[in-house]
Structure 1
Amino acid sequence: MKDTLKHKGLRQKLVKVLVDKGITSELVLEAIANIPRHLFMDSSFLDHAYQDKAFPIAADQTISQPYTVAFQTELMQICKGDKVLEIGTGSGYQTAVLCELGAKVYSIERQHELFKITSKFLPKLNYRAKKLVFGDGYKGLPELAPFKSIIVTAGAPFVPKPLLSQLEIGGRLVIPVGDKVQVMTLFVRTGLKQFDKTEFGEFKFVPLLENKN
Structure 2
Amino acid sequence: MKTDDLITMLSSGPDVGVAARPTRATLLPLLAGLLACVVLMLALLGVRPDLAQAAALPAFWLKVVFAAALAAAGWTAVKRLAVPGVRTARLPLYLAAPVLAVWLAAAALLWQTSPEFRAALFWGRTWRYCPFLIALLSLPMLAAALHIMRGLAPTRLRLAGAAAGFAAGASAALVYCLHCPEMSAVFVGSWYLLGILIASAIGALAGPRALAW
TM-score bracket for this pair, using the shorter chain length: under 0.3
Which structure carries more helix by proportion? 2
Which protein has greater RCO, CA pairs closer than 8 Å, 6+ apart?
Answer: 2
Which structure carries more strand by proportion? 1
TM-score (norm. length: structure 2): 0.24
Larger Rg: 2
TM-score (norm. length: structure 1): 0.24
